[in-house]
Structure 1
Amino acid sequence: MRAGRKEQLMDDRNLPWEGGCRCGRVRIKISAKPILTMACHCTGCQKMTASAYSLSAAIPNEGFSVIQGEPVIGGLHGASRHYFCPYCMSWMFTRPEGIDWFVNLRPTMLDKLDWFTPFIETWTSEKLSWAVTPAAHSYKALPAFDEYEGLVKEYLARAG
């Protein structure tokens, strides 16, 4: 990490950050720093992204807003709600089932992305053999529920 990068990229004074889908019809804003960043290797994410894994940044709910357009629910249409642009169909964010205190943002939707590195990677039991991330922690499935508090504390300490 180059000198000063942490302060430049994760400082609250740099917020809010904005972003949008590929076509720009849906725009979002975050006004709170991520509490955790992730890469998910599950086959569901592979299919939804047409890639090796999906990327997520957990944003506190009060620090996330849609400022233009109206995303639609897509993906599996299940209990965890995956939101997409209705025009270009970019997968923008997810509201996980039973969890209303954060939003899983696809960080590639943000206009500024050079701050992002996945801190944990999940579902490595389903990952493609060549897929590699710089994540500090890897899990064959998901971390145990009681591990998240420590992971969040460690991530926030490293992120500034």
Structure 2
Amino acid sequence: MGDWKLPREGGCLCGRVRFKITAPPLLTMVCHCKGCQRLTASAFSLSAGIPSDSFEVVQGEPVIGALHGAHRHFFCDYCKSWLFTRPEGMDWFVNVRATMLDDPAGFATPFVETASKERLPWVRTTAVRSFDGFPDIDAMMQAVEEFAKRDGPV
């Protein structure tokens, strides 16, 4: 795989919470669901699925926010930046908000888009794969395999 310029670091807007990534993403994604639109105050969220053992909070203590449901969304308690999500039943990866990286190049170009039925009418992405809703685990694993065949960051 190409040069991902690892490790990479990132953090919240105020800098109180910092994290480090030591492996390339398993997948890069954009989500058009209404929840992501509301959490980001934008048209979608950008994220990178990072192997759990390659993600570390190195400064500060993120807190759970948003819906406090099965998918645990982590934020900075001070500036309220949405940093990452730990999806229920998928402890093998952390869904990091790609734009929270100090240098998001390559990690923010979406390979997959989810919840495209909820996409705002004017939004277009360069995602290779698109799902009307949220893909089942088999479809997600197939996308991960396709992404792994790429030659590094876009």
Shared topology, TM-score over 0.5? Answer: yes
Residue matched to 2:124? 132
Of 138, 151, 155, 2:147 maps to: 155
| 1:96 counterpart = 2:87 | yes
Cα distance in 2 for residues equivalent to 1:79 and 1:144: 16
For 2:24 and 2:74, the matched residues in 1 are separated by: 20
Residue 2 (structure 2) aligns with: 7
Shift of 1:7: 3.1
Alignment of 1:47-66 (within 5 A): 47-66=38-57
In structure 2, how many angstroms separate the alpha carbons of the residues matched to 1:118 and 1:134?
Answer: 7
Partners in 2 of 1:29 and 1:49 — Cα distance?
Answer: 22
Stretch moving more, 58-67 or 141-150: 141-150
2:149 alignment partner, SS class: helix
SS of the counterpart of 1:155? helix
Q: Unaligned 5+ residue runs, structure 1?
A: 1-5
Cα deviation, residue 61, structure 1: 0.3
Give 5+ residue unaligned stretches, structure 2.
Answer: none
Residue 123 of structure 1 pairs with residue 115 of structure 2: yes
State the Cα deviation string for residues 55-77 of structure 1 (Å, max 9, x = none): 11000000000000000000001
Identity of matched residues, %: 58
Name the structure 1 match of 2:16: 25
Q: Which protein is bigger by CA-based radius of gyration?
A: 1
Q: Which moved more, 1:142-151 or 1:62-71?
A: 142-151
Length, aligned pairs only: 151
1:145 deviates by: 2.1
| Larger helix fraction of residues | 1
Q: Distance in 1 between matches of 2:105 and 2:124?
A: 18
* 1:45 paired residue number: 36
Q: Which 4+ runs in 1 deviate beyond 3 A?
A: none
Give the distance between the partners of 2:135 and 2:67, measured in 1 at CA: 23
- How far apart in 2 are the matches of 1:145 and 1:103? 15
Q: Distance in 2 between matches of 1:59 and 1:113?
A: 13
* Paired residue type of 1:147: A
Cα deviation, 1:17-57, whole Å, max 9, x if unaligned, reads: 00110111100000111000100000011001000001110
Q: TM-score, normalised by structure 1?
A: 0.90
